[in-house]
Amino acid sequence: DAMVIQNPRYQVTQFGKPVTLSCSQTLNHNVMYWYQQKSSQAPKLLFHYYDKDFNNEADTPDNFQSRRPNTSFCFLDIRSPGLGDAAMYLCATSRDSGSYNEQFFGPGTRLTVL
């Protein structure tokens, strides 16, 4: 089945130790998104890629970076995780970037920062 896959499902890191979260898709969609969802809060968009074009949200901290080496893969890098970065990180894809394009979500990676 075509799907959005996130690895790992659970990630534990230490304060300040860089961490990378992975997302892959078999849908061949043009757009990939990264959302941060803190406990009992709404998912919040961090950035997205339209093909190779990177689009950062204005309030996304510089500590968060992303890479998309090819259509299928997208990575979220947190350079120096703080305790406040503990959250569920959700990857999503959509066929295109216009309105009314359904976003397909992966199962998420829950990040714990010690």
Partner 1 sequence: SQELEQSPQSLIVQEGKNLTINCTSSKTLYGLYWYKQKYGEGLIFLMMLQKGGEEKSHEKITAKLDEKKQQSSLHITASQPSHAGIYLCGADPSGGYNKLIFGAGTRLAVHP
Which residues of this protein are in contact with partner 1, per CB under 8 A?
A: 4, 6, 31, 33, 40-45, 48, 57, 88, 90, 92, 94, 96-108, 110
Q: How far is the CB of 60 from partner 1 (least distance, A)?
A: 12
Q: Which is nearer to partner 1, 90 or 113 (CB)?
A: 90
Please count the other Cβ atoms lying within 10 Å of the Cβ belonging to residue 94: 19
Q: How far is the CB of 81 from partner 1 (least distance, A)?
A: 20
Q: Which is nearer to partner 1, 18 or 53 (CB)?
A: 53
Q: Which is nearer to partner 1, 24 or 94 (CB)?
A: 94
Q: How far is the CB of 9 from partner 1 (least distance, A)?
A: 9
- Strands 10-13 vs 109-113: parallel, antiparallel or unpaired: parallel
Q: How far is the CB of 15 from partner 1 (least distance, A)?
A: 23
Q: In whole angstroms, what is the distance from residue 75 CA to residue 49 CA?
A: 11
Strands (E), 1-114: 4-7, 10-13, 19-25, 31-37, 44-50, 53-56, 64-67, 73-78, 87-94, 104-105, 109-113
Q: In whole angstroms, what is the distance from residue 93 CA to residue 24 CA?
A: 10
Q: Which is nearer to partner 1, 19 or 23 (CB)?
A: 23
